Amino acid sequence: MESFTNACRRQRRQNYWLLLQGIALSLAIFFISVAPPVKAATAPQRVQVTGEIIDTWCYVTEIMGDAQGTAHHLCAVWCAIGGIPVSILGEDGNVYMVLRVENEDTNVANPTIVNIQTHKVTVDGDLYERDGVKYLFVTQVADDQGVVNLNHEDYGIIPFGK
């Protein structure tokens, strides 16, 4: 038979856990109620984008100088093979994150993307925007002008620059 003292302790533990669960639930409801609503992605727009295929890591961090053209080509290929997101630095100044190219299932080590790294391309695709980020599903590479003509004489030895 359980002693009165043990029964009281058990009841206090149960009450304590119920109190903690109530506090946690109250906090969750509070934070959900004050959080800004999550914005859904915009409906896709058919677009044509012209620009250079870049790897986003080197572009954003500037770890490899300007991270463009022939001076950065081999690094960009390895980044694409390694799974670093690939984007298009558009002539309009926007960066478009490429989520899919033509009928490929993946962007990681995707032969189509690897073969056009640092190329100037014109692509047709579906553009989605969410929270300021532009996502691009490329349906067709309409024009491929090859590697952008930047060189070590113009940009210095990567990663040191001029």
Q: Are residues 61 and 22 in the same domain?
A: no
Residue 162 lies in a domain: no
Q: Do residue 78 and residue 111 come from a single domain?
A: yes
In Å, how far from its chain's centre is CA 54?
Answer: 13
Strands 86-90 and 45-55: antiparallel
Inside any domain, residue 62 = yes
Same domain for 53 and 126, yes or no, is yes
Q: Same domain for 13 and 69? A: no
Residues 25 and 50 in one domain: no
Question: Does residue 71 lie in a domain region?
Answer: yes
Q: Which domain holds residue 22?
A: 1-36
Judge whether 108 lies within some domain: yes
Tell whether 59 and 11 lie within a shared domain.
Answer: no
Q: Residue 66: inside a domain, yes or no? A: yes
pTM, full prediction? 0.67
pLDDT tens, the chain, 162 aa long? 567 777 777 777 787 777 777 777 777 776 676 766 656 667 899 999 999 988 888 888 877 665 566 667 788 888 888 888 889 999 999 999 998 888 777 766 778 888 888 889 999 999 999 988 999 999 999 999 988 756 656 655 555 554
Sequence-separated (6 or more) residues with CB below 8 Å from residue 65: 71, 72, 155, 156, 158, 159, 160, 161
Give residue 158's pLDDT: 53
57 within domain boundaries:
yes
Say which DSSP state 72 is in.
G
What pLDDT is attached to residue 97?
Answer: 93
Contact 149, 69 (CB under 8 A): yes
Kindly report the CA angle at 116 between 132 and 104, in degrees rounded to 5?
A: 75
Question: With contact defined as beta carbons under 8 Å apart, do 114 and 74 qualify?
Answer: no
Give how many domains the chain has, as a whole number.
Answer: 2
